[in-house]
Amino acid sequence: MDKKPSASQAPSERTRVKRYHWLADYDQDTVKAILDASPLAHVGCVLNGLPFVTPTFLWREGDHVYWHGSAAGRLFKALPDQDICITVSLLDGIVVARSAYNFNCNFRSVMLVGQATLIQDEAVKEEKLRNFVNGLIPGEWERLRPLHPKELKATALACLPITEASCKVRTGPPLDDEEDYSFPSWAGVIPVRYQVLPPEPDPRNLPDVSMPEDILRFRLG
């Protein structure tokens, strides 16, 4: 792994990666691939002066990401009046080097910054929520009890354009100082990934209900 600068350019100064800049990538395809690999995201939003970091499910449609929550929530109310930061990170391995200084991890991460908007149109909200559910499990929305209007009203939906985005990706073996390669310590990578286990049916499922094949199409990582 050479420490070459990234071929792509940062979309803004505040998204330009300073540390380990040779791992940086600003390519939209890389950004989108990482966003699509994990529904779990962390949203940073200042509330009462504190930069709250909230885990949430995030999904992408084209050049925007969406996430939802309770319309009564403090964080959703605070969202539109400030610039926020959303980070998606996937741990891919522990990189065991020959020195503690070069210990590392393999990972993929994206950082998005910008101003979020709340989607108010109920029809658009419902469409986006359907895309979220069907993005996790194809066709699932159509199998569910239809949404009540009061449920839609109680749900806040936020949107952020993928305009200011940066990502960092590290793969491969350790990168030790050249003189350390003669040090007699085992080096390598312990790969980690998400594993999807067999579905566990709800004990209260109706006796004549069978599991849709689509449930097995859920992927993560």
Residues 72-131 that bind a copy of itself (CB under 8 A): 72-74, 82-87, 89, 91, 94, 96-101, 103, 105, 107, 109, 111, 113, 129-130
30 in contact with a copy of itself (CB under 8 A) = no
Residue 21 to residues 16, 106, 175, Cα–Cα distance (Å): 8, 15, 15
Closer to a copy of itself by CB, 7 or 206: give it: 206
Residue 166's contacts (CB-CB under 8 Å, 6 or more residues apart) are: 10, 11, 15, 16, 17, 24, 25, 26, 31, 110, 111
Pick one of 5, 36, 53, 171: the residue that binds a copy of itself (CB under 8 A): 53
**Residue range at the interface with a copy of itself (CB under 8 A); choices 3-11, 23-31, 66-74, 116-124:** 66-74
Confirm or reject binding of residue 3 to a copy of itself (CB under 8 A). no
Contact letters (x/-) for a copy of itself, 147-186, by CB under 8 A? xx--x---x-----------------xx-x---xxxxxxx
Told to check if 51 binds a copy of itself by CB under 8 A, we report: yes
Q: Is 213 in the site for a copy of itself (CB under 8 A)?
A: no
Cβ distance to a copy of itself smaller for residue 7 or 144: 144
Do the beta carbons of residue 158 and residue 68 sit within 8 Å? yes
54 lies in the binding site for a copy of itself (CB under 8 A) = yes
- The reply on whether position 10 binds a copy of itself by CB under 8 A is no
Contacts of 134 (CB under 8 A, 6+ apart): 140, 141
Q: How far apart are CA 28 and CA 14, in angstroms?
A: 17
Applying CB under 8 A, the span of 2-10, 26-34, 116-124, 133-141 interacting with a copy of itself comes to: 133-141
The distance of Cα 16 from the centroid of its chain, to the nearest Å, equals 19
How many CB atoms within 10 Å of residue 146?
9
Q: Taking CB under 8 A as the criterion, which residues in 193-212 touch a copy of itself?
A: 193-206, 208-212
Question: Which residues touch 139 (CB under 8 Å, ≥6 apart)?
Answer: 212, 214
Whole-angstrom Cα distance, residue 211 to residue 96? Answer: 42
Identify whether the C-beta of residue 164 lies closer than 8 Å to the C-beta of residue 112: yes
Which of 8, 17, 57, 117 contacts a copy of itself by CB under 8 A?
57
